[in-house]
Chain A
Amino acid sequence: MATASDSKSLPVRFALYITLLVIIAITFIPLYWMVVAATLPQEEFFTLPPRLLPGTHFLENLQALEARFPYLRSVWNSVFVATVYTVISLFLCALAGFAFAKYEFKYREPLFYFILATLVLPVQIMIIPMYLLMAQFGLLDTHIALILPFLANPVGIFLMRQSMLSIPDSLLDAARIDGASEFQIFYRIALPAMKPMLAALAVILFISQWNAFLYPLVILESEELFTIPLAIERLTGHQRIYFDQIMVAATIAIIPMIVLFLWLQEHFVRGFTNSM
């Protein structure tokens, strides 16, 4: 690595690291402050100057929050809906993507480009018809209504097809010779060979459901079915806003995802860069 850029002068390096540290500080301050606010007793929150160190009142604040709103229930709902959605959608997208990548059949191209064309459509286009349709099906105010419409995910099928194209045909032929049925070829050969891409797609799918706000807002009415975004929206919409409780809710929503991100970072990054 002995190139010209190695000989960067010390002041330049110093300025550069300082800039990076400032950016990181800007990134961290809202998160840090969220944790501070979530752990201080309500009355200390409004003192001036603001407190800069976390307190110990997290559980008390959470109890106060729970007394007003079943927030942990919402957390569970979010996890449940996003997980069920991710597992089913992953399977459907992989199965269809596999068919498009590894089988020859009539109308294969038009069928695939039909899906691709919908990639550019914004999700808002589904909201109104979906509301009417779910009302018709009697599915308003259910979790099924949150999961069902997004299972056929165009990004998912696109990514799965693209990555399954890289599976050599001979691998599938070898399995056929070994006596595998077509479904065993998909399930025991193609899927395991696609693990990294499946993980990346799982991250994309999970996050999309985890962040969903507008559509659940339209579909759900009962507080006990609320997902995290709806719960926090409800908390911020009251006449009197309990800042500490909102920060408790935000902390519970954000910190586990950060941990997940640090743990599964490569899949997150592959997911982001691939879904572009």
Chain B
Amino acid sequence: MTSIDLDNVSKVYDPNGEAIEAVSDLDISIQDGEFLVFVGPSGCGKTTTLRAIAGLESITDGSIVFGGEDVTDARPRERGVAMVFQDYALYPHMTVRENIGFGLRLSSGLSEQEIERRVEETTEMLGIEDLLDDQPGELSGGQQQRVALGRAIVRDPSVFLLDEPLSNLDAKLRTDMRKEILRLQQELEVTAIYVTHDQTEAMAMGDRVAIMNHGRLQQIGPPEAVYLDPANKFVAGFLGSPSMNFLEASVESTDGTTTLEADGEFRHELPAGSVASSATEYDRVVVGIRPEDLEIVETGGVPVEVTVVEAMGDENVVYVDLGSTELTARIDSTVRLSRGDRIRIDFDSDDLYLFDPDTEAALETKTAQLTAYREPRQADATNP
């Protein structure tokens, strides 16, 4: 069990004389026994960060500290980390038994019987004791995944690193393995760092979620905090499915009332209060509204035209045109809609998110609703 501190970690690649910053100035403290998820689009630096923590990648600047001990220049085997890879990375020429025992044989100095005992204990824990003498090529994806987990936990690591471990599994198996990984992490009381591009997975698994983009940490916090109180437009758009709707609006302030006007016939009067106060300083803002916060109304609201309806069962994802902007709404499936329907949609002022159009930093979020959820482990929300 170990806490991990990343202090101003930067990684610059310099393949052909042109420097590329893959990770810049990353500053994160991961607590002992925490399950932290790095999430972001591909190329955002999350995997590089994980590999740097593993010791597979040197860092250009900053330091990495494990439980008070600086391991910046230590090799992977000196860090006591275990890692699960996206493609499982099982040694193809070894049996399951040899795969799991390989690390212990190389560096633990344990007796052969002790290694055997641990390997068997681990496979029993994962329910793969019948596969001990099979080769990886003979196993299904889910079984390979379990062997990969076994290889990681058999060494009793202090830090458990997982690089998109579920992305090669089908949807059903993925949900099962999610639970399995969480169960193992809690049983072993190990610090876990998990990388994924899938925001649903990130929200479902992490004690905290760190959202990265273009090599920079955008925000870190508990799932509900980053969802309800995104630090910027990127985080707001990345989390949630379907993504948040954005439209650029001009701000009109007259006689204490503040009105947002945008494309099509969008007009929304902000009630007096926090929302208004933050918007009045701007001429233009980016308005964000989540698909689930849109509703169909008889009167009022904004007139729109339905373009596509995707049935999801309990609800429909409805795409509508508001002028030249496309909006997405999640509407109860009892409301039957089809292409070309003209409807009116509306939303609550409390559900609005506002962003600075230049810096994209959040001006207004659902912070108010969040206070009720917040745990003592306060998210150190970072604005880029």
Contacts and interface: CB of A to CB of B under 8 A. Distances in A.
Instruction: Tell me if chains A and B make direct contact, with any CB pair below 8 A.
Output: yes
Interface of A: 104, 168, 170-171, 173-180, 184, 189, 192-193, 195
Contacts, number: 61
A174 B77 contact: no
A193 B92 contact: yes
B77 A177 contact: yes
24 contacts: A168-B87, A170-B85, A170-B86, A170-B163, A173-B51, A173-B85, A174-B83, A174-B89, A174-B90, A175-B102, A176-B56, A176-B75, A176-B77, A177-B54, A178-B103, A178-B106, A179-B77, A179-B106, A179-B107, A180-B106, A184-B106, A192-B91, A192-B93, A193-B93
Contacts of B91: 171, 174-175, 189, 192-193
Interface in B20-60: 51, 54-56
Given A168-B87, A174-B91, A195-B93, 7 more contacts: A173-B51, A173-B54, A174-B85, A178-B102, A178-B155, A193-B92, A193-B93
B103 A177 contact: yes
A177 B83 CA distance: 7
Contacts of B155: 178
Q: How large is the interface on B (under 10, 10 to 19, 20 to 34, 35 or more residues)?
A: 20 to 34
Interface in B50-74: 51, 54-56
Contacts of B103: 177-179
A170 B152 CA distance: 14
A156 to B, nearest CB: 21
Interface of B: 15, 51, 54-56, 75-77, 81-83, 85-87, 89-93, 102-103, 106-107, 151, 155, 163
B151 A178 contact: yes
B89 A170 contact: yes
Contacts of A175: 91, 102
A178 B85 CA distance: 13
A168 B55 CA distance: 18
- What 3 A-B pairs have minimum CB-CB distances, sorted nearest first? A179-B107, A178-B103, A179-B77
B107 A168 contact: no
Contacts of B82: 177
A168 B83 CA distance: 15
Contacts of B54: 173, 177
B76 to A, nearest CB: 5
A173 B83 contact: yes
Contacts of B15: 104
A104 B58 CA distance: 13
A190 to B, nearest CB: 10
A189 B82 CA distance: 18
Contacts of A193: 91-93
Contacts of A173: 51, 54, 56, 83, 85, 89
B107 A170 contact: no
A174 B151 CA distance: 9
Contacts of B106: 178-180, 184
A174 B54 CA distance: 10
A22 B93 CA distance: 44
Contacts of A171: 89, 91-92
Contacts of A104: 15
A178 B77 CA distance: 7
Given A170-B85, A170-B86, A184-B106, A177 B92 contact: no
